Structure 1
């Protein structure tokens, strides 16, 4: 029977071999060697003050081609969709079109459907973009192309493209929050980094400070994960902020658009097949907690580098996907 000392040696050898065979661990080791003499200041960015304390803000800008269907085109399209009214399905809509009713304005004169058509038109004329989106969601699933089309009612600068990095799936700290906004032909990404766990409230505060009544969120699985996670952490620190805004979750739209054309609808798969983007030295999301722990325990900033870049690329890709989808609507 092997001695305990021999067993320990065997375990250490096995772990060493496993690390050598793991490209993610090899990447971490290489980055720690590369950044061993560098500090947080070398990551760029600036320290910012929030109502919850200080945190590090990293800002990047780059050119982007982003466009959505114009509000006029979206409105015209919606007003030709009779299925937005109660009691009208495919066959009834087809019959009404055959009878010469082409738009909701035409249908407002119909003896049966006219009243509902006029109510819908009045609500469209009186409502804000978020109200129109709600009107459409009353008749279509949240992932339907007609809902995504309504993004054209928003001004580009009103979108917040968001992504978060956390230490796990629930009830753990947020370590990085990224958001991007559009101005002209540029996308500006701001990332708020927890330099230690105690800065999480400041990170949350920095992100929520940019949310206003015109905001619409764009995410990838954010309806299920990111936004509920953020709300939970806000409650944890008694930070009050209303985040109930229109939300375009591109994961669900992607499945409707491309599930038959792509191997899967993961973000990196979409990048590779639709935008010819190949990530270099990327760290999988599931390994980010391990990378952050290594940084936190060692003080070596190397493991932070791919976390920040992973988050930045996720956000920029959101804008590319949304624009591409509007090309296909």
Structure 2
């Protein structure tokens, strides 16, 4: 797969695209896009007002992620977040149905502010399964993955992975890396590598990063550099940090030519991740280490490079799971 195709695929994952029933104005679309950027940078508070603009206009995707932002901000499903989950679910959003189905109401009961439910949680789960299962049995990979989320049946996860779903492939690699499944010792590692390679080639940034790590452990430095850079080019924060650190030789592990300006710039770019994710301490520490190798003039050049990168590449993102806990 060509790099351009990889980036296009990764961008689709970044936006978590779905068919919205509402036709947004340019201003509403811009607000939605900004809200998704903040959401994917784990800035739920910042994302909320932007997503609300598109959600109020009837956009299904914005309604779902507004509900997610409100739930994360409040640490439970309060009446407002439930309202937006239900709005998205009424438009057929299976992820919203699953979140409504998982709702236990424990905290809202303690706070005595539970919302009146349109349906019982089990009814939402049954509705989601009634929609997803026929599609899954007809070969739709995402529906297979949704069936896995609904049933926790590992067979659905593997079927989704076999059907080419990059996130399912990533989770197959993760679960096998954690010891699931029965393998001879050398077969387990081969299977893990197979899944991460498939996920990487399918455009999933987290799969790219895991595959790069495996290649690095095998001393395939060229392969590591190739996939580490591809993951960074999608905007994946962890890979940008690693790519910048490698270019600045902090440390020099994978044979990158020293490029102190670009390395410093990529680390500097991550200063905008001042919400969740716990990356700021590492960014501050790495900039401090790198500053001993760079002149004041080069720092100015690096900051300009960071601005150009931001304007010409996908937004920096942690790529959080769409169906969060």
- Bigger fraction of residues in helix: 2
TM bucket normalised to smaller: under 0.3
User: Which is higher, the Rg of structure 1 or of structure 2?
Assistant: 1
**Normalized against structure 1, the TM-score is what?**
0.19
**Normalized against structure 2, the TM-score is what?**
0.19
Of structures 1 and 2, the one with the larger relative CO (CA 8 A, separation 6+) is 1
- Bigger fraction of residues in strand: 1
